[in-house]
Structure 1
Amino acid sequence: MSASPLSSMETGDHAVLLLHGLSSSPLELRFLARLLADEGFVTHTPELPGYSAGAGHQPMEQWISAAVAEFDKLAARHRHVSVCGLSMGATLAAALAHERPAARALLLLSITLSYDGWAIPWYRFLLDYVYYTPMRSRYRYREHEPYGLRNEALRSKIARAMQKNDISEVGPASISMPALHEAGRLAGWVRKKLKGVRTDCLILHAIDDETSSPHNARFVGTHIGASFLRTIWLDDSYHMITSDNEREVVARECALFLRESVAATVSSTTPTPVISRALARRLRQLATVARKE
């Protein structure tokens, strides 16, 4: 499937591959992609065969292969390529980082290894069994309020969009049983491979995530093999942190971490890299705190 119009493939030093959530679209990452582009990064938000909305059904191994192919395209043109994912896209990003250790940085937003948030129906575990019945071709899990959003105004807007369309800017109205089954397989695979992921890693997760509880982020933080690891907890968002109240915080923390990851690899004999306005502000804040202490 062709790349999304949100992609920006122009020549640049540092490209970021952005992976949206399960059975969704690049719209979920539109704000983040725009801010990263403003910060000087090349962004690419593809649609993946068998994973994205309207792309049919394929096993999770094909999801990984498709993501790796997109990474390799970027790696052929850019010095640094980082990977960022949202929700199940973050799980897919972790799988990609395992397959491509050359990834500069790994940004995991609301990573989902288990659908265990407070808004997940109690009968969710039964769906694993339904897959092995004739119902698997007919049943679809329907999304419901709060749609991953703490922001009530945006939630109302999404609720209206969900009634009219199969997809919105925060994801699909429903997800098929085969897609959910493959997502579970992918999560199980990633759990086993985390120790082998040594890419610099940023984890961003809402403490009130209603879809994937904070346990998901803690598990990754405890088991991933990265030596440069940062976890940031958000307190005014739900699952869709790239669209919710703290979307600017998410975007700027991502840009900052990408720059820090590159800076950490630069030797003392290399000219000092250009510092972005966001990084300059952070350095000033740290200096102020140090003086007060």
Structure 2
Amino acid sequence: MSEARVMEGAEPFYAEGGRAGVLVSHGYTGSPQSMRPLAEGLAERGFTVALPRLRGHGTTPEEMAAATAADWVADIEGAASWLRERCETLFMAGLSMGGTLTLYMAGRHPEMFAGIVPINAAVFVNNPDLASLAFAEDAPAEVPGVGNDIKASGVTELAYPVVPVPTIKELFALMKAAEELLPRIVCPMLAVVSREDHVVPPANTEYIAGRVASAEREVLWLEDSYHVATLDNDADLILRRAAEFFERHAKAARGG
């Protein structure tokens, strides 16, 4: 069954450029719009970029309710295949659950990426209210959403105003799988984290940095953004540092 019409602004973004490719992922209940400035900025710098729309996102909460973590992983795997057909070197960046998917992919495929940039990534959320709904038979169909945690005024994330409750268990399963895979991550990592985040505890990033096997791991603390940092006051900083990181490791992969 085909999905409902995609919301304006929530479309995926693909751009063909050089032989270094970046797979970019948005987060839970969000859409590609939250990562579009980063993806476009990387494309302008010559990278080949794939920013897919995860199943059930950017349409309706009712459609998302039927989506699974396996669907989201399949969407990311498909985008990775598109990049591999065009690129010699691959990188990945993701926000929130997109960061979780970044960790999952780097642990599942240790040789695939030359570097990763998880941004406010989650392997735990410290939210017992959400956890209590994951397997509850009497749970409501929806609860209030987690989008639009942005410090900058006048900026809106294109995200659902609700969380489809059937997907909560999918999120928790994905976070747990990513956590278990952390010791298998060996590629360089630039982990980006907002000092103040009202959705994902910043302690995630320190935990992640302490568990990965990467010889090179750096944490970039953001002082002027909340959770959706890629649309917030530090968006330009994220783009600059991510591009520098990818360019440096693409050059190293070429033997430069």
Name the CA shift for 1:52/1:94 in 2 (closer, same or farther; >3 Å). Answer: farther
Q: Secondary structure at the match of 2:14?
A: coil
Name the CA shift for 1:114/1:53 in 2 (closer, same or farther; >3 Å). Answer: farther
- Between the aligned partners of 2:113 and 2:143, the Cα distance in structure 1 is 35
Residue 140 (structure 1) aligns with: 143
- Count how many residue pairs are aligned between Structure 1 and Structure 2: 246
Say if 2:107 and 2:183, in contact at 8 Å, map to a contact too: no
- The Cα of 1:73 is off from its aligned counterpart by 1.9
Q: Secondary structure at the match of 2:230?
A: coil
Q: Secondary structure at the match of 1:152?
A: coil
Say if 1:14 and 1:78, in contact at 8 Å, map to a contact too: yes
- Between the aligned partners of 2:249 and 2:15, the Cα distance in structure 1 is 21
Say if 1:51 and 1:63, in contact at 8 Å, map to a contact too: no
Name the one with the larger helix percent: 1
- The Cα of 1:250 is off from its aligned counterpart by 0.6
Residue 86 (structure 1) aligns with: 95
Matched, 1:65 2:45: no
Query: Which deviates the most, 234-243 or 93-102?
Result: 93-102
- Between the aligned partners of 2:154 and 2:135, the Cα distance in structure 1 is 39
Q: Secondary structure at the match of 2:132?
A: helix
Q: What RMSD in Å do the two structures reach over aligned CA positions?
A: 2.3
> Unpaired runs of 5+ in structure 1?
117-123, 159-167, 273-293
- Between the aligned partners of 1:52 and 1:9, the Cα distance in structure 2 is 20
1:88-138 Cα shifts (integer Å, max 9, x gaps): 11001111122222212211011112224xxxxxxx413323333334352
- The Cα of 1:232 is off from its aligned counterpart by 0.5
- Between the aligned partners of 1:175 and 1:192, the Cα distance in structure 2 is 25
> Unpaired runs of 5+ in structure 2?
none
Query: Which deviates the most, 100-109 or 190-199?
Result: 100-109
TM-score using structure 2 length: 0.87
TM-score using structure 1 length: 0.77
Given candidates 51, 54, 57, the residue that maps to 1:48 is: 54
Name the CA shift for 1:53/1:17 in 2 (closer, same or farther; >3 Å). Answer: farther
Name the CA shift for 1:7/1:130 in 2 (closer, same or farther; >3 Å). Answer: closer
Residue 237 (structure 2) aligns with: 249
Residue 120 (structure 1) aligns with: none
- Between the aligned partners of 2:246 and 2:118, the Cα distance in structure 1 is 12
Q: Secondary structure at the match of 1:130?
A: coil
Residue 106 (structure 1) aligns with: 116
Alignment of 1:205-284 (within 5 A): 205-267=193-255, 272=256
- Between the aligned partners of 1:5 and 1:50, the Cα distance in structure 2 is 12
Say if 2:107 and 2:184, in contact at 8 Å, map to a contact too: yes
Q: Secondary structure at the match of 2:139?
A: helix
Query: Which deviates the most, 238-247 or 127-136?
Result: 127-136
1:139-170 Cα shifts (integer Å, max 9, x gaps): 323347xx31111343xxx3xxxxxxxxx43x
1:214-268 Cα shifts (integer Å, max 9, x gaps): 210001100011112111001111111101111100111110000111233343x
Name the CA shift for 1:129/1:8 in 2 (closer, same or farther; >3 Å). Answer: closer
Alignment of 1:23-42 (within 5 A): 23-42=29-48
> Identical aligned pairs, as a percentage?
21
Alignment of 1:175-194 (within 5 A): 175-194=163-182
Q: Partner amino acid for 1:223?
A: R
